[in-house]
Structures are given as C-alpha cells and as structure tokens.
Amino acid sequence: MRQRLEEALRAANADYTEIRVEQVDSSWVHFKGRELDSVGSAKTSGGIVRALVRGGWGYAAFNDLDGLDNRVRQACESARLVGGVEQSRLAEVSPVVDRVSVALDEDFRHVPLSEKKTVIEEYNEIILGYHDKIETSHVAYSDRFRKVWFANSEGTFIEDERPDASLVLSATARDGDNVQQGFETVAGKAGFVIARGHHQKARAAARRAVDLLSAPPVAGGKYTVVINPKLAGVFAHEAFGHLSESDFLYENDRMKEIMVLGKRLGSDKLSIVDDGSIDGLRGTQKYDDEGVPTRKNELIKDGILVGRLHSRETAAKMGEHPTGNARAVGYRYEPIVRMTNTYIDSGDTPFEDMIRDIDLGLYALDMVGGQTAMEMFTFSAAYGYMIRNGEIAELVRDVVLTGNVFETMMHIDLVGDTLVFPPAGGGCGKGGQSPLPVGLGGPHVRILDVVVGGR
Ligand SMILES: [Zn+2]
C-alpha cells in the first residue's frame, strides 16, 4: 500500500498533497422491544485525495485504488481553480512513518453475528421481563474496525488500526401518559469482550425507568448542583469544548474576543483538557487525520484559558502549533477540527464533602438530551436526586439545567478528587460529520446558583 500511495503522490502537481485510504469492517445487532430491529455486517472501503495549490484546496474521493493517479490529478486541478482566492496554509510538522496495530481481546471481526445476537438478546430479555410497567426496550450493539492508511507529499506514511465498539441498553416504562426512560452505556476501543457481562446494567436501566415513573418532577429554581462525572464530561465537551475548536473560533469575531489566551474564563478550581492519547478511550488515536501525533492539550488551567484545538491549517492561521485534532469521520470527508477525549480535570474534594454543607440542592446525573447555542446551554439530565441537609434524598425527574457556559464555569466552587471516563455512546456531530467517536470524563463537580427547570 505504501508504494502504491507514494507512486500516486508523484502524479501530484501541488504545494501539498495527501491520500487517505480506509477499509471499514462493521457489524451491529439492534433490538427494539421484542423485535430484532436490525442485524448485519458490512465491509466498505474508499479514500480521498486532498491537494493544496496556492492556498486553495481540491478534493477527489474514490471507492477503489484503480485510477488513483487520475484522482490525484483531479484534486490538483480543483485546487488550482480556487488557488490564489483562498489563503490556506499548513503549519509545519515533522514527517512520520509508523504502523499502529491493535490486539483486541476477542476481536469482534471474528465473533459470529449469531453469537453477538445471543449475548445482546439476553440483555433485551432482562429489560423486557423486569416489570410489567416496562413498555419497550432499545438494546443496540455496534462495532467498527477502521483501518486507515495515510500518506502525504512531505514523506509521512501511517498505517493505523482504529477499533470501536459500543452497547446501549435502554428501557422505556409507561404508566398512563407518564413515560420514562432508563439507560446504560458501554463503549471503548476494545473487542467483543466489552459487550459481555452487563446483565446488571440491563437491570439497572430497567429499574431506573420504572423508578422514575413514581419520582416527582424537580421543583424549578436556583440550586447548588453537583453533577456526576458523565454530566461533567458532557459539559466539558458540549458547552465549552466546541468553542475551543479553532475553525469555529476563527470565523466568529465575538467568540474570538472572548476566547483570548490568558483570560480568566472559570473559577480557579476548573481545568479542562482534551487528550487523544489516553489508552483505550473512544476518542483515542495515535495520530489525527493529518498525520499529526495526538497529545494532552490543556484548554483551561486553574480557570485561565491556556489553549485551543487545531488542525495544521488553523494553527498556521492563528500562529499557533498543531494539536493533533484534525479528524474525519470517514473516508469521504476532509479532516476538520474535532475533540478527542475531553474532560474536567480532578480537584481535591471527596464527594461527601461536596454535599455535606448543602441544605437544599440537586445531584444531577448523566444526560438524555440537550442543546447549545454559542455560550448558552440546556442539558436534560437523565435523572437526579435532591440533596437535603447534607444528604442524598429522593429521586427526581425532568431535571433540566440551563445557563451561560462562562457564568457557569465561574460558579464552580468544588471539584471532586476522582477523575473517571464513563463510557459514552453515540458520538459527536459537526459539519455534517457524525457520529465521531469521542471520550468524555470528569470528577463530580459542584456549581453554585444553577437555574434548574422543572415543573
Ligand atoms: Zn460534539
């Protein structure tokens, strides 16, 4: 493959050219209620050429390697048409030659679909049989093994294996018009072993859906809120992380004024990091899709904005260094600035000490939905507990947190001492590229004066 790509690159007549080729093996087993909604496997392959001529990008996608030289020429011609009008440049990086291979415990490519179905069906049966108020289930397993070859005209050649497996266990309970959900997630860069042994999680999802039927909606108001690690990770990614993506920043004058390096954006307890090099997490890759090594990138350190995420192009535009955050969701797409594994870093407060002095507050867990619009966010926690007189009290539902991300970050007064990376299913969407596997993490985090919607 290396020889094939390097030969094709010689057909290029551009300032910079790269070729990315992928082979993807995937399979899935989805149950909806009693029905096996979808089961199957697929093998796809293809690639994309990207060429830069006098600041203009040209692209040519392909499905097989026949005629690759022509694709390279086409990309160069397209680039020439926009060259001189566009002003793209690439920050310099050292060429890399590397081969990244993974050894999976129970490689999911070799596990028969029938075996996958048997395992997943057990979880589905547990959920459906848990209680007569369980109306339906959604149990979805999927895996994807991406093998990526990347070569560019600067001498970089990388062969990279990227496995990803996930399982979502979801239960829906109904009592008249009252419909509630409980779910648990498992996900990682792992083999099929990651999908085994989750009978307890299936029960937990069903139990929560049923318990929420009789839980009261939280009373709306302003509370001291403790968010769990998963919600902390969602906050780091959704509310703040996307604002750190420099392609977005570069095009947004107002955000550029706010996101000034060295400026205080949060309380001194708050540190936020994006790190694509943590072993085993869904957002982990040794190299990004421009062949730049991933690394630990501090975004906020003790409340101060200290970094942001870059591709080679945005790094050159802003006079900063590439951070290894140019990612493409698949071979049809160009790499754009994306997060990897984003987390709030741990502090020093044990969970008990966070709730001890709260007379009336809220403990919010996980997330079922939400939206952000610039610095405003609305997150629906999956469930919550009231905190009364320093102790966890009754289960509550309809927990909706809203606020301004910068005000909220200033209101963080305690950060937990234990950083965890709870499995995150689904993925991130941006610029029509979805779902991109990402990791989320954090400790428990305490925030003052949070507006909580409810009834
Ligand atoms: Zn996202």
For residues 123 and 240, state if they share a domain: no
Nearest Cα neighbor of 157 from 14, 20, 326 is 20
How high does pLDDT run on average in the chain? Answer: 96
For residues 280 and 310, state if they share a domain: yes
Peptide bond into 437 cis (omega under 30): no
Q: How far is the CA of 187 from the centre of ligand 1 (A)?
A: 16
Q: How far is the CA of 118 from the centre of ligand 1 (A)?
A: 33
Given the DSSP bridges, would you call strands 360-365 and 400-404 parallel, antiparallel or unpaired? unpaired
The one-letter code for the residue type at 370 is G
Model pLDDT, residue 251: 85
pLDDT tens digit sequence for 315-371: 999 999 999 999 999 999 999 999 999 999 999 999 999 999 999 999 999 998 888
Question: Residue 454 — pLDDT band, cuts 50, 70, 90?
Answer: low
Q: How far is the CA of 400 from the centre of ligand 1 (A)?
A: 19
Q: Considering 213, 241, 266, which residue would you say is the last residue of a domain?
A: 213
For residues 209 and 227, state if they share a domain: no
For residues 377 and 248, state if they share a domain: yes
Model pLDDT, residue 86: 77
For residues 186 and 319, state if they share a domain: no
Q: How far is the CA of 203 from the centre of ligand 1 (A)?
A: 29
Q: How far is the CA of 234 from the centre of ligand 1 (A)?
A: 9
Question: Residue 425 — pLDDT band, cuts 50, 70, 90?
Answer: confident
Mean local confidence (pLDDT), 40-68: 95
Q: How far is the CA of 92 from the centre of ligand 1 (A)?
A: 27
Q: How far is the CA of 429 from the centre of ligand 1 (A)?
A: 5
Q: How far is the CA of 98 from the centre of ligand 1 (A)?
A: 29
For residues 86 and 195, state if they share a domain: yes
Q: How far is the CA of 239 from the centre of ligand 1 (A)?
A: 9
- How many domains, in total, are found in the chain? 2
Q: How far is the CA of 242 from the centre of ligand 1 (A)?
A: 6
For residues 16 and 159, state if they share a domain: yes
- CATH assignment at residue 96: 3.30.2290.10
Q: How far is the CA of 12 from the centre of ligand 1 (A)?
A: 35
For residues 195 and 230, state if they share a domain: no
For residues 154 and 285, state if they share a domain: no
Q: How far is the CA of 438 from the centre of ligand 1 (A)?
A: 8
For residues 201 and 236, state if they share a domain: no
Q: How far is the CA of 273 from the centre of ligand 1 (A)?
A: 15
For residues 124 and 173, state if they share a domain: yes
pLDDT tens digit sequence for 282-295: 999 999 999 999 99
Q: How far is the CA of 222 from the centre of ligand 1 (A)?
A: 27
Domain membership of residue 132 as a residue range: 2-213
Q: Considering 213, 229, 244, which residue would you say is the last residue of a domain?
A: 213
Q: Considering 179, 213, 247, which residue would you say is the last residue of a domain?
A: 213
pTM recorded for the entire structure: 0.96
Q: How far is the CA of 240 from the centre of ligand 1 (A)?
A: 10
Structure tokens that stand for 116 in this block: 């996958």
For residues 190 and 267, state if they share a domain: no
Task: Please give the Cα distance from 75 to 48 (Å, whole number).
Answer: 9
Strands (E), 101-248: 134-152, 157-175, 178-188, 221-227
Q: How far is the CA of 111 from the centre of ligand 1 (A)?
A: 31
